[in-house]
Amino acid sequence: MSEHDAAVLARIRQGSLYTESEAAFLAPQRRADLIFDYNQTRPSDTDRRRTLLEQILGSVGARTVLLSPFHAGFGSNVHIGDDFFGNVNLTFVDDVEIRIGNGVMIAPGVTLTTTGHPVHPDLRVDFRRFSEPIVLEDKVWIGSNAVVLPGVRIGYGSVIGAGSVVTHDIPPMSVAVGVPCRVTRAITQDELRGRV
């Protein structure tokens, strides 16, 4: 890796601004053709789908279900634990790492985006952007059409309501909803009685 590329990578990891041209050296990590192939496979072809997921993702746990179609900027920066369920139209904007724990469920139409752009238009030349990792801890459930923004960590067992836009960290064992997403209550042992 050249000194220039190493310096750009360091800026990316620090959450600083970088341009499309500066980050072009990362292009070989994109898995667009493999993602296309995955999205064209038959749902019943589980062996082929598993093989493709292992080629696309940075790491993938056991008993993973990812329904088609899904989309990813790279794919190689996504790490999924065991017992994952991702419903249709899941989008990973994974310019940097997205780490998903065990037992996570994601409903249809969810976007996990590690990347944003500056507000001032003069700073968006050459698609200038910043990227910060996303972490979904074990047993998180994200409702339909939610968006998780750069740098967010969602704590163990938390539930994100449908349509929410998650702009900041959510503590463990919380129900959080809204735009912007806010914690509305804690999840307690009383929930074990049934649907709440």
What is 3-187's CATH number, 3.20.20.70, 1.10.150.310, 2.160.10.10, 2.40.30.10?
2.160.10.10
Please confirm, yes or no, whether 117 is among the known catalytic residues. Answer: yes
Whether residue 67 has pLDDT greater than 70:
yes
What's this model's pTM, rounded to 2 decimal places? 0.94
Catalytic member of 4, 71, 79, 117: 117
Domain ranges of the chain: 3-187
Q: Which residues are CB-contacts of 162 (< 8 A; sequence separation ≥ 6)? A: 107, 143, 144, 145, 146
pLDDT-based confidence at residue 193 (cuts at 50, 70, 90): confident
Q: What is the pLDDT of residues 80-94, one digit of tens each?
A: 999 999 999 999 999
Q: What is the pLDDT of residues 13-50, one digit of tens each?
A: 999 999 989 988 888 888 999 999 999 999 999 999 99
Whether residue 196 has pLDDT greater than 70:
no
Task: Please count the other Cβ atoms lying within 10 Å of the Cβ belonging to residue 63.
Answer: 11
pLDDT-based confidence at residue 106 (cuts at 50, 70, 90): very high
What secondary structure does DSSP assign to 31-66, as a single string?
-HHHHHHHHHS-TT-HHHHHHHHHHHSSEE-SS-EE
Alpha-helix runs per DSSP H in 67-186: none
Predicted local distance difference test score (pLDDT) of residue 192 = 81
